[in-house]
Amino acid sequence: MHDVECLWQAHTLLGEGPAWVPALDSLLFVDIDGSRLLSWRRGDARQQEWSLPEACCWLIERADGDGFLAGLRSRIVHLRLSDDGPVVVSDWARPEAHLPGNRFNDAKADTHGRVWAGTMDNGEKAVSGSLYRIDGREVVRVDQPYGIANGPTFSPDGRTLYHTDTAARTIYAFDCSPAGELSAKRVHLRFEGDEGYPDGMCCDADGGLWVAHFGGARVTRFTPDGRPDRRIALPATQITSCAFGGEGLDELYVTTARRGRDDEPLAGALFRLRPGVRGLPPGRFGQAPMQEIPT
């Protein structure tokens, strides 16, 4: 059931942000350090990649069908994608223009069309990261500080937001109201020893939390009360993120990093698992067409 398939040895320096896009029957992901956007199509295993002048850290499908909301290193943009490559249609926001050493790192959309995105110091030294809520044109900082803000994801009922500070090896849980207000921040999990560092994560339809272990060579499923109940080893050390996809949302796609691991043949590859549970439908940004701000 847990057979690990290597779908693509993409050699990503820092593979991140896997996003299942049903309309394209494709898994999109990014190579932040390599400034690449990559696409793997499920039906025919077609592989595509594009170089970017400014690295993309995450992208989330827009609910109006017009491309994606994307987090580049320094800004949030409206991005369209074609076989000719990605095109930035308009700037959305630059919430950390005053922090040139920071960049975006990871994001998810909730069922209300809001995007939750974290930032970090690109040099991984300063504790200058934050968590933002993007609701239409409104971009609000909702929590800080973070060394490496990572892996926001939601419980199936949307009432719990999980968010990670990878540098602190800690996953937090928040209560989240229907209006998007956070409260009751608490430590949900701490990683120790050979567990590595908690990185990207996602929830399944039963409430299990799947976490990528950066430096730990595995993904683990945790029950809603924080108990590990399934560990799946992978043939790469730096596991960066995971996302459910496929026609039945029963496939788990896993990204990895090659940075500092040239001795590992499958470091930087894209993997697929069949964990025996289903994921949640991917969230999309926005509920109505948005007014554009030309670049």
What's the DSSP call for residue 285? B
Enter the tokens of residue 111.
Answer: 């069922």
Location of structure tokens 């069949």: 274
Contact at 8 Å (CB) between 5 and 272? Answer: yes
The backbone torsions φ and ψ at residue 166, rounded to the nearest 5 degrees and listed phi first, read -60, -40
- Give the side-chain half-sphere CA count within 13 A for 157: 6
Angle in degrees, CA 277, 249, 279, rounded to 5: 55
Contact at 8 Å (CB) between 234 and 221? Answer: no
Measured CA to CA, the distance from residue 154 to residue 224 in angstroms comes to 11
Please report, for residues 89, 107, 115, the alpha-carbon distance to residue 139 in angstroms, rounded to integers and kept in the order given: 19, 13, 9
Active site residue 199: yes
Please identify which of the residues 199, 206, 229, 263 carries the catalytic annotation. 199
Burial of 65 (0-12, 13-18, 19+ CB in 10 A): exposed
Measured CA to CA, the distance from residue 269 to residue 9 in angstroms comes to 4
Q: Would you name the residues annotated as active-site residues? A: 199
